[in-house]
Amino acid sequence: MSKSKGWKIVCINCGKETETELPDSKCKHCGDLLEISISAKVGRRALFEGRGPGIWRFGAALPFFSGTIPISLGEGGTPLVRLEHVGLGLDLDNLYAKNDGQNPTGSFKDRGIAVAVTRAKSLGARTLVCASTGNTAASLAAYGAKAGIKAVVVVPKSGVASGKLGQAFAYGARVFGVEGTFDDALRRVLDLVKGDEGFYLMNSLNPFRIEGQKVAAFEIYEQLGRVPDYLVLPVGNAGNISAIWKGFKELRANGITRSVPKMVGVQADGAAPFAKAFVSRRKIEALKEPHTVASAIKIGNPVSWKKAMRAIEESGGTVLTVSDHEIMKARTELGAREGLLVEAASAAPFAALRKLKLSKSAKVVCVATGNGLKDLADHKSEQAIETFDSGVSIVNTLGFA
């Protein structure tokens, strides 16, 4: 490793370093997943007194690409909102939502895409490509535009939220559809990058994605003034849970905290291969036909499952599943009782809270991974505009006459 670089790419299995990345972001020695190892110790001051917008404030803990200016749309720095009503219903005094729906394209993906696009720029990549259930597509399209690099996104032909597709088009990406699921789309994209050096892979297999996403842990620690007891988030391809866990682990390794949260992954009943593997303590078995209303986590073969399994086991956490009905109920409740509009997948962690045996005083952070505006048009609302009659009749229907 060159000393000046301050980071290296290592395999999570054989531990060997990778100097030049393969197109599919896998270890060239054993084919397993890669991660970035930051060599410098980053103390409290270096970490929290940094400057720069959003995630780049934490540049001391991010891989640095000499000569390349970060490609940024202002990602990160999202609010941690205390939930007043939903928490009370659950008898929790300290429930928070990390509202990553407030990122530039409306999801947490922007954190990781910003770092990976910056990496792509430093390597002179010509075309960025990803498979996506929608949010990565929207994010990649935007950051590709900002970086001046072509963006190609591959999505399942049906089921992607209309708002997300609309974003990908609006940001000028080329959008390709495949029959089948996200897993089919990813398989096709991996074939594509292996066959043509012009494409740069932007899925969360790319370890630079994880670096940007880990910053959420630093922000949560800073906003809460401590490490939460539980960190609960939806799991699809299992990149984000791996990323946030890496962030907390780095806080501990750098002596900034002594404790780490229990990581709790949440999947939908019909798309729960990771939950199944966790219960049986076995390898993941791909699910051919995942189904759930939460299209962002409709994934049958989570590629980062090994990293995620380590996160759950090392932290003493767990994996839960929730039904589509529970997801939609939680989404409605968050909107109507907290003013927090999340997309379906992002309601899953809130829906799962009742299934965790939590003490009233536990400090719990759920990650609201995506903005509810994205799939609002796809879920029929029972509400309709009421005809404006007279003031008297409105007052009567409101029931406070």
Minimum CB distance to ligand PLP smaller for 60 or for 185? 185
Smallest separation (angstroms) from ligand PLP to the CB of 109? 6
Q: Is the dihedral of CA 74, 80, 83, 84 positive or negative?
A: negative
Nearest to 280 by CA among 324, 319, 241: 319
To the nearest whole angstrom, how small is the minimum distance from the Cβ of residue 26 to Zn ion?
A: 8
Q: How far is the CB of 149 from ligand PLP (least distance, A)?
A: 21
Cα angle for residues 137, 143, 149 (degrees, 5° grid): 100
**Contact between 215 and ligand PLP (CB under 6 A)?**
no
Q: What single-letter amino acid sits at 43?
A: G
The reply on whether position 181 binds ligand PLP by CB under 6 A is no
Residue 307 CB, shortest distance to Zn ion, in Å, is: 13
Widest Cα–Cα separation across the chain: 76
* Binders of ligand PLP in range 103-162 (CB under 6 A): 107, 133, 135
From the list 316, 155, 168, the residue with the least C-alpha distance to 229 is 316
46 versus 175: smaller Cβ distance to ligand PLP = 175
- Minimum CB separation of residue 44 from ligand PLP in Å reads 28
Q: Which one, of 32, 45, 35, lies nearest residue 9 by Cα?
A: 35
Residues that bind Zn ion (CB under 5 A): 11, 13-14, 27, 29-30, 32
- The answer to whether 345 contacts ligand PLP (rule: CB under 6 A) is yes
* Selected binder of ligand PLP within 72, 118, 206, 237 (CB under 6 A): 237
C-alpha Rg value of the chain to the nearest Å: 21
**Other C-beta atoms within 10 Å of 224: how many?**
16
Helices 207-224 & 239-253 angle (0-180, nearest 10)? 60
Out of 9, 11, 117, 296, the residue judged to bind ligand PLP by CB under 6 A: 296
Question: Which positions lie near ligand PLP, rule CB under 6 A?
Answer: 107, 133, 135, 204, 234-240, 296-297, 343, 345-346, 369-370
